[in-house]
Protein backbone atom coordinates (compact mmCIF):
# COMPACT_ATOMS: atom_id res chain seq x y z
CA UNK A 1 0.00 0.00 0.00
CA UNK A 2 1.34 3.41 -0.98
CA UNK A 3 1.41 6.56 1.09
CA UNK A 4 -1.63 8.06 -0.60
CA UNK A 5 -3.73 4.91 -0.15
CA UNK A 6 -2.74 4.65 3.53
CA UNK A 7 -3.71 8.25 4.23
CA UNK A 8 -6.99 7.74 2.42
CA UNK A 9 -7.82 4.63 4.52
CA UNK A 10 -7.01 6.41 7.79
CA UNK A 11 -9.06 9.43 6.68
CA UNK A 12 -12.08 7.19 6.10
CA UNK A 13 -11.73 5.69 9.60
CA UNK A 14 -11.39 9.12 11.22
CA UNK A 15 -14.38 10.43 9.28
CA UNK A 16 -16.50 7.48 10.48
CA UNK A 17 -15.42 8.21 14.06
CA UNK A 18 -16.81 11.73 13.55
CA UNK A 19 -13.73 13.46 15.00
CA UNK A 20 -13.39 16.70 13.01
CA UNK A 21 -10.24 17.92 14.80
CA UNK A 22 -8.43 14.64 14.15
CA UNK A 23 -9.62 14.75 10.53
CA UNK A 24 -8.14 18.28 10.10
CA UNK A 25 -4.82 17.13 11.57
CA UNK A 26 -4.78 14.15 9.24
CA UNK A 27 -5.38 16.43 6.25
CA UNK A 28 -2.50 18.67 7.36
CA UNK A 29 -0.22 15.66 7.79
CA UNK A 30 -1.21 14.27 4.41
CA UNK A 31 -0.40 17.60 2.75
CA UNK A 32 3.00 17.60 4.46
CA UNK A 33 3.61 13.99 3.41
CA UNK A 34 2.79 14.81 -0.21
CA UNK A 35 5.12 17.84 -0.08
CA UNK A 36 7.86 15.62 1.33
CA UNK A 37 7.26 13.03 -1.37
CA UNK A 38 7.53 15.75 -4.01
CA UNK A 39 10.77 17.04 -2.45
CA UNK A 40 12.22 13.51 -2.35
CA UNK A 41 11.42 13.09 -6.04
CA UNK A 42 13.05 16.44 -6.83
CA UNK A 43 16.18 15.57 -4.83
CA UNK A 44 16.37 12.14 -6.43
CA UNK A 45 16.32 13.71 -9.90
CA UNK A 46 18.92 16.28 -8.86
CA UNK A 47 21.12 13.54 -7.41
CA UNK A 48 20.86 11.55 -10.64
CA UNK A 49 21.84 14.60 -12.70
CA UNK A 50 24.83 15.29 -10.45
CA UNK A 51 25.99 11.67 -10.72
CA UNK A 52 25.71 11.83 -14.51
CA UNK A 53 27.68 15.08 -14.55
CA UNK A 54 30.35 13.57 -12.28
CA UNK A 55 30.60 10.51 -14.53
CA UNK A 56 31.06 12.82 -17.49
CA UNK A 57 33.66 14.88 -15.58
CA UNK A 58 35.65 11.70 -14.99
CA UNK A 59 35.70 11.04 -18.76
CA UNK A 60 37.05 14.51 -19.64
CA UNK A 61 40.57 14.63 -21.00
CA UNK A 62 42.32 18.01 -21.04
CA UNK A 63 44.93 19.01 -23.58
CA UNK A 64 47.64 21.64 -23.90
CA UNK A 65 45.45 23.60 -26.31
CA UNK A 66 42.14 24.93 -24.89
CA UNK A 67 39.90 22.06 -25.90
CA UNK A 68 38.78 18.87 -24.23
CA UNK A 69 37.93 15.39 -25.46
CA UNK A 70 36.29 12.34 -23.92
CA UNK A 71 38.68 9.55 -22.97
CA UNK A 72 36.55 6.78 -24.46
CA UNK A 73 35.60 8.66 -27.66
CA UNK A 74 37.02 6.81 -30.66
CA UNK A 75 36.17 9.74 -32.96
CA UNK A 76 38.27 12.12 -30.82
CA UNK A 77 35.70 14.93 -31.06
CA UNK A 78 36.97 18.30 -29.80
CA UNK A 79 34.79 20.19 -27.32
CA UNK A 80 35.13 23.75 -26.05
CA UNK A 81 36.92 23.76 -22.70
CA UNK A 82 35.52 27.21 -21.87
CA UNK A 83 31.91 26.06 -22.21
CA UNK A 84 32.65 22.99 -20.10
CA UNK A 85 34.44 24.97 -17.37
CA UNK A 86 31.77 27.67 -17.15
CA UNK A 87 28.49 25.88 -17.92
CA UNK A 88 29.34 22.15 -17.75
CA UNK A 89 28.16 21.82 -21.35
CA UNK A 90 29.88 19.74 -23.99
CA UNK A 91 29.80 21.98 -27.04
CA UNK A 92 31.40 20.45 -30.10
CA UNK A 93 33.68 22.89 -31.84
CA UNK A 94 34.07 23.41 -35.54
CA UNK A 95 37.55 22.53 -36.75
CA UNK A 96 38.83 23.54 -40.16
CA UNK A 97 41.68 22.24 -42.27
CA UNK A 98 43.80 25.28 -41.36
CA UNK A 99 44.12 24.30 -37.70
CA UNK A 100 41.43 26.64 -36.34
CA UNK A 101 38.88 25.67 -33.72
CA UNK A 102 35.69 27.70 -33.33
CA UNK A 103 33.00 27.29 -30.65
CA UNK A 104 29.52 28.13 -31.95
CA UNK A 105 28.24 28.68 -28.38
CA UNK A 106 30.74 31.08 -26.79
CA UNK A 107 32.39 32.19 -30.06
CA UNK A 108 35.84 31.24 -28.76
CA UNK A 109 38.38 30.75 -31.56
CA UNK A 110 41.87 29.36 -31.23
CA UNK A 111 44.51 27.29 -32.99
CA UNK A 112 44.17 23.61 -32.15
CA UNK A 113 46.82 22.32 -34.56
CA UNK A 114 49.91 24.51 -34.92
CA UNK A 115 51.33 22.51 -37.86
CA UNK A 116 48.18 22.95 -39.93
CA UNK A 117 48.08 26.60 -38.88
CA UNK A 118 51.68 27.21 -39.99
CA UNK A 119 51.00 25.60 -43.37
CA UNK A 120 47.69 27.35 -44.05
CA UNK A 121 47.17 29.33 -47.27
CA UNK A 122 48.13 33.01 -47.11
CA UNK A 123 44.53 34.19 -47.55
CA UNK A 124 43.77 32.92 -44.00
CA UNK A 125 46.73 34.61 -42.35
CA UNK A 126 44.78 37.72 -41.29
CA UNK A 127 42.22 35.75 -39.27
CA UNK A 128 42.51 36.69 -35.61
CA UNK A 129 42.73 33.68 -33.31
CA UNK A 130 43.73 33.06 -29.69
CA UNK A 131 46.53 30.86 -28.50
CA UNK A 132 49.44 32.23 -30.50
The string of pLDDT tens digits covering residues 75-112 is 989 999 999 999 999 999 998 888 888 999 999 888 88
Judged by average pLDDT, the poorest of 23-37, 96-110, 116-130 is 116-130
Percent of the chain residues past pLDDT 70, beyond the cut: 88
CA nearest to 111, candidates 132, 85, 84:
132
- pLDDT, position 122: 66
Name the more confident of 102 and 123. Answer: 102
**Do 92 and 79 meet the contact criterion of CB atoms below 8 Å apart?**
yes
3-class SS at 126?
coil
Cα gap 122→119, rounded to integer Å: 9
Cα gap 21→122, rounded to integer Å: 86
pLDDT band at 132 (very low <50, low <70, confident <90, very high): very low
> How many Cα atoms sit within 13 Å of 36 on the Cβ side?
8
- pLDDT, position 54: 92
Rounded to the nearest integer, the mean pLDDT of the chain is 83
Name the more confident of 111 and 35. Answer: 35
- pLDDT, position 103: 92
- pLDDT, position 125: 53
* Alpha-carbon Rg for the chain in angstroms: 28
Amino acid sequence: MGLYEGIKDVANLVQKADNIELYKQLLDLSAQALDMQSKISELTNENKALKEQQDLSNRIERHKEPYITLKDDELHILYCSHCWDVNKKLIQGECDINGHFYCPECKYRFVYDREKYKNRPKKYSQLKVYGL
